[in-house]
Amino acid sequence: MKAVRHVGYKTFPELKDIEKPTPGPGEVLLKVAGAGACHSDVAVFNEFEEGLNPKMDPEFTLGHENSGWAEELGEGVKGIEIGAAYLVYGPVGCGVCRACTRGQDTYCENAADMPYSGVGLGLDGGMAEYVIAPARNLIPLGDADPINAAPLSDAGLTPYHAIKLALPHLNGGGKTALVIGLGGLGLVGVQILKALTGATVIATDMKPEAMAAAEELGAVTVPGGEDQVAKIREITGGKGADAVFDFVGVGATVKTAMQSAAVQGRVTIVGIGDLSTYDWAFMTTPYEAELVNTYWGTVEELHEVVDMYKAGQIKPQVTTYSLDDALEAYQALVDGKIAGRAVIVPHGEK
């Protein structure tokens, strides 16, 4: 079968022919419906260097944001229906530690000893005709469209987890949230904030078309520039934003995020950016402003994200590509030319 392979650091992926896999005990073989192209993949093949994260050492199939139809069950698997559509929870931890047993494989206590981080992150991913996932990582989609659902497993789950943890800061009248970076994650983030809170959502991006998309979703936008922080503070009545979500994560956006935060606000950095640093200083930090980073989310939260999708509260903005054109999608992502999310559909749209 055809698969998009991570073949080396600082090396563009390749479309190769590999063997169709067979599910082992506890695993399920899925015929891939959709595989989203996440900016983190660009970090893996373009920015990571040998030795930085051995779990991402080549070679493996990319794609950690997947949906598909169950095709074959490995030994001992029960409760998965052949032919039914599922969303894949990508992180794969040891499965038995405290974090994994509460469905938070992202913070597996045995991560240091694991040879991979997840499906498409060390293990072969979904940019292929078929993918294997542990049965416990599958969330049933029912009648919901699996192709548009594919981005939910990262571009939906990651902002959902970040926003859910920040909800106490947005609970009440007159609250404001700031979203920096309106790509795959940020545009879903705006929708989650609108659905879960009554906060005014302020949004910013370098691309005018990304800001226009956020406005359509009900956000107030503020362009970049020297007076950006002043404009954001003005919209918040001078207070600053109660919760800030940075889906870019470069030094400059972390600085903007912290300068825009309210006293006792919460700043969540989700973007992995350029690995540059941010200088924290007492005198320029709003009192009790929390600065945290978050990584992906839990299995249970992914069920909740799917519930929101089924209820029409989240609709990822998707552009589809065939598997043959997958490298074109990654190139467009590298060039900043994707609006919303690029999703690879190896078996076409149904």
Binding site residues, ligand NAD, CB under 6 A: 38-40, 43, 154, 158, 180-186, 204-207, 210, 224, 247-250, 252-253, 270-273, 294-296, 333, 336, 338
237 binds, among Zn ion, ligand NAD, none (CB under 5 to 8 A by kind): none
Whether cis (ω within 30° of 0) applies to the bond prior to 226 is no
Choose the contact partner of 270 out of ligand NAD, Zn ion, none; CB within 5 to 8 A by kind.
ligand NAD
**Residue 248 engages Zn ion in binding (rule: CB under 5 A):** no
For ligand NAD, the closer CB: 240 or 273: 273
User: CA 90, CA 307: separation in Å to the nearest integer?
Assistant: 18
The residue among 268, 269, 263, 267 whose CA lies nearest residue 288 is: 263
DSSP string, 14-50: EEEE-PPP---TTEEEEEEEEEEE-HHHHIIIII--T
For ligand NAD, which is the closer residue by CB, 129 or 295?
295
Helix, strand or coil, per DSSP, at residue 122 = strand
> How near is the Cβ of 270 to ligand NAD at its closest, in Å?
5
Shortest Å distance, C-beta 293 to ligand NAD: 7
CB of 238 to ligand NAD, least distance (A): 23
Q: How far is the CB of 71 from ligand NAD (least distance, A)?
A: 27
Q: Which is nearer to Zn ion, 95 or 224 (CB)?
A: 95
Q: Which does 94 bind (CB under 5 to 8 A by kind): ligand NAD, Zn ion, none?
A: Zn ion
Select the residue interacting with Zn ion from 93, 126, 183, 340 (CB under 5 A): 93
Q: Which residue has the tokens 């991006």?
A: 205
Contact indicator for 62, 27 with CB cutoff of 8 Å = no
Give whichever of 26 and 251 is closer to Zn ion, judged by the CB atom: 26
Token pair in block for residue 125: 């991913």
* Among 127, 122, 124, CA closest to 108: 122
Q: How far is the CB of 248 from ligand NAD (least distance, A)?
A: 4
Binding partner of residue 97 among ligand NAD, Zn ion, none, CB under 5 to 8 Å per kind? Zn ion
Helix (H) or strand (E) holding 331: helix 326-334
- DSSP letter assigned to residue 194: H
- Direct distance between the N- and C-terminal alpha carbons of the chain, in angstroms, rounded to an integer: 20
How far are the Cα atoms of 18, 138, 195, 274 from residue 350, in angstroms, in the given order? 25, 21, 29, 38
Query: Binding string, 96-125, against Zn ion, x = CB under 5 A?
Result: -x--x-------x-x---------------
Binding site for Zn ion (CB under 5 A): 93-94, 97, 100, 108, 110
